[in-house]
Amino acid sequence: MNKKTSIILGLCVACLASHSVTGQQLPAVNLGFTSFLDGAPPSGPGWYAQLYLQAYRDGRLKDGDGRDVRLPTVEGLKKAEVDVNVALAQVIYQSDQPLLFEGKWGINLMLPFADFDLKPDDNFVLSTNSGVGDLLIGPYLQWDPIMGPNGPRFVHRIEFQMILPTGEYDSKRALNPGSNFFSFNPYWAATAFLTPEWTLSWRLHYLWNAENNDPWVPLGANDSQAGQAIHVNFASAYEILPQRLRLGLNGYYLKQITDAKVDGNRLPDSKEQVLGIGPGLVYHFSRHNHLFFNAYWETEAENRPEGSRFNLRFVHHFH
């Protein structure tokens, strides 16, 4: 297998569920982890603990033209697929103290764990590594809701997320929980209350990545650098049971806007993209306990897997 083929295979298998990279691909990013009512913490100031569980299934690896990738095995070429299980713990502190432009400061800490299952498991090219992923630290500013005659009309937040290369990483493995490079991933999140019952939410990210000085071994390179990207989560929900249940639609879109680099040289046809859409809900057990469920089916994938994603998220507010 030549070097170019190895690179393309690495591109396709990288960054699949949100917690894997080869040396030059996108790091763990938020694809569908957040959805409804995203413009503010659901219960006001204080400490929050959140647990996310995500299952990614039947991720068919796609090349730069959106075609299925096949891996060499002892029985010949077989279609490449991947399943991923992700658990993510999050701690948030939301202050009640304005810091800048009336925005109240807060801090967000997140730590993931990822486990991969690549099929066929007897392929000659790609191997996996499971374990703890990269630590995310995000200072942010949260603005109070803009109120109308019937309740809130609009609420939003800006966060300056940083992904630190602290996770498990092995340059001999194509799939790793950690990225081995620093990333800056700021976002703007907002919720608009179209009516007291009907909400529209979004979270718009920009992603910049530093160099990886120990890239995936088959690249035969001294360093690599993932491209820049934009990605957005979007969701709309309607309140079915007052103060209890909202049902809606949720989605995400990722678009890499610059090519990856290997040894400082641009790697053509290396940009990733994917679109995921599906149904979801949020159930409010009380003012301080909330459960989110989201399902996504992916399409339009390039240089990454295309599969199904199921996300469960529990939020607890300490009071």
- Is residue 11 over pLDDT 50? no
What is the pLDDT, as a whole number, of residue 171? Answer: 86
pLDDT band at 8 (very low <50, low <70, confident <90, very high): very low
- Is residue 311 over pLDDT 90? yes
What is the pLDDT, as a whole number, of residue 138? Answer: 97
- Is residue 142 over pLDDT 80? yes
pLDDT band at 130 (very low <50, low <70, confident <90, very high): confident
List the domains of the chain with CATH numbers: 3-317 (2.40.160.40)
Indicate the average pLDDT of the chain.
89
- pTM, full prediction: 0.89
Average pLDDT over every residue of 31-51: 95
CA 63 to each of CA 11, 60, 70, 192, 236: distance values in angstroms, whole numbers, following the listed order: 8, 10, 10, 37, 31
- Is residue 69 over pLDDT 70? yes
State the first-to-last Cα distance of the chain, in angstroms, to the nearest integer: 59
Give per-residue pLDDT as tens, 48-67: 999 999 999 988 988 888 88
Give per-residue pLDDT as tens, 157-202: 999 999 999 999 988 887 889 999 999 999 999 999 999 999 999 9
pLDDT band at 81 (very low <50, low <70, confident <90, very high): confident
- Is residue 7 over pLDDT 70? no
| Window from 25-34, 228-237, 309-318 with minimum mean pLDDT | 25-34
Q: Rounded to whole angstroms, how far apart are CA atoms 281 and 249?
A: 8
- Is residue 218 over pLDDT 80? no
- Is residue 211 over pLDDT 60? yes
